[in-house]
Amino acid sequence: MPEGVNLSRRGLFRGRLTSKEPGVQLPWSLPWPDFVADCTRCGDCLTACPEQILVKGDGGFPMVEFRHGECTFCGDCVAACKAPIFRPTTEAPWQYIAHIEANCLASTQVFCQRCQDSCETRAIRFSPMLGRVPTPSIDAASCTGCGACVMDCPVGSIRVGAPGSENPI
């Protein structure tokens, strides 16, 4: 990137003063304002990710796309980055958890438990109900927010976002 280019001025010409914060940031990343202030958008983290779940998001900043797979928390994205935009990998990678939306097949009485089958930590459980198909619930304490369930959901009813968020991403 050329020296002296002010990215916030470029955003002004596009009608944006800031880059939109993605629903899910990279694991161990700093808060969004600090992350975008120092991220060079070089793409090293994208190529380092063995799961290929990192993609260019708004403004060319990296973001996580769980439709491509799950995060294994390997730390390769952190190791590949030369900018100071990550916290130590000894800390928790993030605070995201999975959320099941209303269009889950169980809500229409269709039996499906693919999300439970893909959840390594067993954070998704199906409770039997008399006269109905089992319904899913998420144990927030067990959920790592890895996103394995997102890719496996046949109707796209699972999103990963902040705990307690009413509108998960």
Residues flagged as binding site:
39, 42, 45, 49, 71, 74, 77, 81, 143, 146, 149, 153
d(CA 125, CA 30): 32
Contacts of 113 (CB under 8 A, 6+ apart): 126, 134, 136
**Closest to 77 in 3D by CA, of 100, 35, 45, 114:** 45
Cα separation, 129 vs 115, in Å, equals 18
Q: How far apart are CA 161 and CA 153, in angstroms?
A: 16
Residue 141 C-alpha from the chain's centroid? 17
Amino acid sitting at position 4 = G
Annotated binding site for [4Fe-4S] cluster: 39, 42, 45, 49, 71, 74, 77, 81, 143, 146, 149, 153
